[in-house]
């Protein structure tokens, strides 16, 4: 974890990014790509319903960022 001055409004984004970083360190790149793909599929499947879109869009975005982070 890097400690530096950040604005309070950006703290949730930094916390999520640090969580992604921790997950990738523990599980490895290949597992992170597979997990990201699964999360993206589940997120897109949830988007087919109006109520599920509230949780599906962030879930798909989280899966996409995990896949990108795993590739690079």
The 10s digit of each residue's pLDDT in 16-61 is 889 988 887 877 888 888 989 999 999 999 999 888 888 889 999 9
Closest CA to 67 of 29, 30, 36, 21: 36
pLDDT, residue 72, reads: 80
> For residue 18, what are the contacts with CB-CB under 8 A and spacing of at least 6?
1
The sign one gets for the Cα dihedral 52, 58, 61, 65 is negative
> For residue 47, what are the contacts with CB-CB under 8 A and spacing of at least 6?
53, 56, 57, 60
pTM confidence score = 0.60
């Amino acid at each position: 974890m890097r400690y530096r001055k950040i604005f309070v409004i950006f703290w949730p984004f930094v916390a999520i990014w640090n969580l992604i970083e921790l997950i990738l360190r523990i599980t490895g790149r290949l597992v992170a790509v597979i997990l990201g793909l699964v999360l993206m599929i589940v997120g897109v499947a949830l988007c087919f319903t109006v109520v599920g879109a509230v949780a599906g869009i962030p879930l798909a975005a989280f899966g996409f960022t995990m896949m990108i982070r795993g590739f690079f």
